[in-house]
Amino acid sequence: MTEYENTAQRYIDSWNETDPVKRKHIIEELYTSDATYTDPLGTATGPQAIDQMVGAVQQQFAGLTFSLGPVDGHHDIARFTWELGDAIVGFDVIVLADGKIKNVHGFLDKVPG
């Protein structure tokens, strides 16, 4: 598994971790202290805000899990697709700094009507 695949899988794992304490720990290890997450529905800055966003998504889509698609990366940038059950399909681009996620740019390809 490449560094990009490993990081993308850990990212997906953070979205699937429903224990708030464990999820917070994963996110704090995965992201830089000034990380940003941006998608069409919102923006979060810093691990605490990102953790809150992940928790809100988990509540909204309780019982669904994220799965990771193919990962492609170079020069500290990676792109990958993901699915949240059958409900949502997305495409994310992550920017790394010193092996941690500095920025996430999320795109939603399929959302519930």
Instruction: Tell me how far apart the alpha carbons of residues 28 and 16 are, in angstroms, rounded to a whole number.
Output: 15
What is the model's pLDDT at position 112? 86
Main-chain dihedrals φ then ψ at residue 76, nearest 5 degrees: 65, 20
**Residue 42 near residue 106 (C-beta atoms within 8 A):** no
Domains of the chain, first to last: 3-110 (3.10.450.50)
Averaged pLDDT, 13-17 = 98
Task: Summarize pLDDT for 24-74 with one digit per residue, the tens.
Answer: 999 999 999 999 999 999 999 999 999 999 999 999 999 999 999 999 999
| CB distance 77 to 90 below 8 Å | no
